[in-house]
Amino acid sequence: MAQATFAALQVLVGISPVRRASGLARAVRDLRKNLKSLRDPYRPELHYMRGPGPKWHEKHAGESASGF
C-alpha cells in the first residue's frame, strides 16, 4: 500500500521513476568525472613552452622584432 501511495504521489508531483533514475545516473557520472580530475596526474602548467629556442633565433636572426 505504501509503495502505491508513494508512486501516486510521484505522479501527482511530476517525478517519474525514470526521471529520478536519469538524475541519479547524471549525478553519479558527474561525481566520477570530478573524482577522476582529482586523480589526474597531468598538469599542463608544468609543460608550457617558454618561448623560441636557439635554433629559432638562428633562423630568424635577420628579421625585425615587429614581425612585418
Cβ atoms 9, 15 nearer than 8 A: no
Q: How far apart are CA 18 and CA 24, in angstroms?
A: 10
Asked whether residue 60 is assigned to any structural domain, the reply reads no
Q: How far apart are CA 16 and CA 24, in angstroms?
A: 12
Q: Please tell me the predicted confidence (pLDDT) of residue 64.
A: 64
Q: Please tell me the predicted confidence (pLDDT) of residue 49.
A: 74
Asked whether residue 68 is assigned to any structural domain, the reply reads no
Question: Would you write out the chain's pLDDT as a tens digit for each of its 68 residues?
Answer: 566 665 665 666 665 555 667 889 999 999 999 998 888 888 777 777 788 888 999 999 887 655 55
Asked whether residue 41 is assigned to any structural domain, the reply reads yes
**pTM > 0.85:** no
Asked whether residue 11 is assigned to any structural domain, the reply reads no
Q: Please tell me the predicted confidence (pLDDT) of residue 19.
A: 63
Asked whether residue 8 is assigned to any structural domain, the reply reads no
C-alpha cell at 56: 629559432
Q: Based on the structure, what is the number of domains in the chain?
A: 1
Which residue range forms the structural domain that includes residue 45?
A: 17-50
